[in-house]
Amino acid sequence: MPEWDADVAIDRDLVRALLEEQFPQLDASSARLLAEGWDNSVWVVEERLAFRFPRREIAVPLVARELAVLPRIASFLPVAVRLGAFLRALHAPEVRAAGDPDDDLPRDPNGRADMALRVPRTRERLASFADLTREEARSADELLADAELLGPSSAQALVHGDFHVRHVLVAGGGVSGVIDWGDVCTGDPSIDLQLAWALLPETRRTVFLDAYGPVDDETQLRARVLAVSLSALLCDYARTEGLPGLERETRAGLTRALAG
């Protein structure tokens, strides 16, 4: 069974019933499915409102975490800016202090920056990719061998925790929003910075890093491994679920991350 399979079927009848019960002022009959992810299903109502419904039990506490943290940090975060500037703001110490005042957020609960966990999982995932080129396979071997030498990270920033292409909204050529904060936690900045290697070609990555600020070699190495790992995982998901657009983008992201 794929790890993204739903625990609850979020269908039109269920959505309409919930809307009629909780939002009687809305036209529940207008609800239409916009998109589904691993944890949530998003429905548009009256072509102006988006409702998100957890489709896996694990997502319920993640929504609660998101609702607790976002109001605390919203005033610190610019949105209509370059991506690097957004992450620079998010990873600032004052944002962690505001978002996690009692130091009770989990610390990298998915082990994304833990190379002892991430490297073998990435190797296992890549083993299923029959379309890796010889150059990509060699680059992956070298990258993962270097990452195996890294010890635990001591960096502790507030991080989005699941920062990939499906969670960044774009309008007018710029970033207009960042969604799905259920995995918000503290951890190594590489957990979010991986998107720079998965999404951006080298020339644009330079612009990103200019906006973000200095990133040391160890953080870059962790970020590249995470970019490879997440791109491969999302590509596998897209192929299984029949999402060709996402498959093309994440397969290209895998190539970008392996190219360095």
The verdict on 90 and 21 lying in the same domain is no
Give the pLDDT band of residue 82 (cuts 50, 70, 90).
Answer: confident
The C-alpha atoms of residue 194 and residue 163 are separated, in whole angstroms, by 8
The verdict on 67 and 34 lying in the same domain is no
> Is the model's pLDDT at 80 over the cut of 70?
no
Residue 253 forms part of a structural domain? yes
The verdict on 161 and 194 lying in the same domain is yes
The verdict on 27 and 70 lying in the same domain is no
Residue span of the structural domain in which 247 resides? 59-259
Residue 129 forms part of a structural domain? yes
Residue 7 forms part of a structural domain? no
The verdict on 179 and 50 lying in the same domain is no
pLDDT attached to residue 62 = 87
Instruction: Dump pLDDT digits (tens) for 135-170.
Output: 999 999 999 999 999 999 999 999 999 999 999 988
> Is the model's pLDDT at 184 over the cut of 90?
yes
How far is residue 202 from each of residues 137, 176, 218, 225, measured CA to CA in Å? 19, 23, 18, 16
Out of 1-15, 84-98, 183-197, pick the least confident. 1-15
pLDDT attached to residue 79 = 64
The verdict on 45 and 86 lying in the same domain is no
How many domains, the chain? 2
Query: Which CATH number characterizes residue 108's domain?
Result: 3.90.1200.10
> Is the model's pLDDT at 13 over the cut of 60?
yes
The verdict on 29 and 82 lying in the same domain is no
The verdict on 90 and 135 lying in the same domain is yes
3-class DSSP assignment, residue 170: strand
Is residue 201 a contact partner of residue 256, using CB atoms and an 8 Å limit? yes
The verdict on 43 and 64 lying in the same domain is no
The verdict on 193 and 250 lying in the same domain is yes
The verdict on 41 and 115 lying in the same domain is no
In SS3 terms, 27-46 reads as: CHHHCEEEEECCCEEEEEEC
Is residue 53 a contact partner of residue 41, using CB atoms and an 8 Å limit? yes
